[in-house]
């Protein structure tokens, strides 16, 4: 039998409680449903970026091969490179 979740006076009290208690003692996670947030998108900011024409054409060619928009491919390349710089593989 699961324990009863106490009534909390405020959010701070609830936060303190969950920092020291395991939620598995209070609810059956086997019955939990995976939430879906279809309209949730990360914030973006428009920038202007000047690229040499041959570089842009190569990017578009690669994107076309992968059947993705070139802007999406550029974001993927940037993200991958930034992660590699920030978190280099230990070896």
41 within some domain: no
Give the CA angle between residues 34, 77, 39 to the nearest 5°. Answer: 30
Same domain, 55 and 84: yes
pLDDT band at residue 40 under the 50/70/90 scheme: confident
Say which residue, 71 or 38, is predicted with more confidence: 71
pLDDT of res. 83: 94
Residue 38 lies in a domain: no
| Residue 91 binned pLDDT confidence (cut-offs 50, 70, 90) | low
Instruction: Answer whether residue 65 is part of any domain.
Output: yes
Output the pLDDT for position 42.
80
Instruction: Please give the residue range of the domain that contains residue 2.
Output: 1-33
Work out the average pLDDT over 51-74: 96
What's the domain count of the chain? 2
DSSP codes joined into one string, 4-27: PPPP-SSHHHHHHHHHHS-GGGTS
Claim: this prediction has a pTM higher than 0.85:
no
CA distances from 16 to 5, 10, 12, 22, 24 (A): 13, 10, 6, 12, 16
Task: Tell me the C-alpha distance between 13 and 65, whole Å.
Answer: 54
Compute the residue count for the chain.
91
Asked if the structure places residue 42 within a domain, the reply is no
Say what the pLDDT of residue 43 is: 83
Residues 53 and 87 occupy one common structural domain? yes
């Amino acid at each position: 039998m699961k324990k009863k979740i106490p009534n909390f006076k405020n959010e701070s009290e609830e936060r303190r409680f969950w920092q020291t208690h395991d939620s598995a003692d209070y609810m059956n996670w086997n019955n939990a449903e995976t939430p879906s947030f279809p309209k949730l998108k990360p914030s973006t900011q428009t920038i202007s970026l000047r690229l040499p024409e041959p570089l842009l054409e190569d990017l578009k060619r690669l994107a076309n091969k992968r059947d993705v928009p070139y802007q999406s491919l550029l974001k993927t390349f940037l993200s991958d490179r930034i992660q590699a710089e920030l978190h280099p593989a230990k070896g």
